[in-house]
Amino acid sequence: MEAKDILDRFIEREKSLMPSPGFAESVMSRIESEEGGRAERLFRNNLLRISVVAASIAVAILVGVAVGGSYGHPATERLVTDDAQIERLHLYTDHVDE
């Protein structure tokens, strides 16, 4: 019962205290100013995040294009097959038609 009595006395003492008349106004103005600042910070953070993601995608595309362009293209001689070369293949084979 001793703890309950201490708690009851504390509650009664807090109820008897008169709050400062400007206290509520100052608390509310602080809350409103923090909410406005928080919204602005969230907007800046989201804008920054979107900018970073867009820049990262652009850099990834540019790096991919640069890496893809660094590989040599096959020479056209390798792609074009001369018919005369194909006809001379029998000279290089050991197989003899009988």
Provide the b/e sequence for 59-84 (b: ≥16 CB within 10 Å): eeeeeeeeeeeeeeeeeeeeeeeeee
Retrieve residue 20's tokens: 């400062």
pTM value is: 0.39
In a domain, 97, yes or no: no
Q: Which residues of the chain have pLDDT under 70?
A: 1, 35-37, 73-82, 89-98
Q: How many domains does the chain have?
A: 1
pLDDT in tens, 9-34: 888 888 888 777 787 788 778 877 77
pLDDT for the residue 4: 86
Task: List the domain range (segments joined by +) for residue 55.
Answer: 2-92
Specify the pLDDT at position 95.
Answer: 62
Q: Which residue has the tokens 């009851």?
A: 8
What is the Cβ-side half-sphere exposure of residue 28, based on CA atoms within 13 angstroms? 5
Q: Does some domain include residue 98?
A: no
Phi-psi region of 18 (alpha: psi -120 to 50; beta: other; left: phi over 0): beta
Q: What is the pLDDT of residue 69?
A: 79
Q: Is residue 32 part of a domain?
A: yes
Q: What's the number of CA atoms in the CB half-sphere (13 Å) around residue 72? A: 3
For the record, the structure tokens of 83 come out as 């018919």
pLDDT at 28: 79
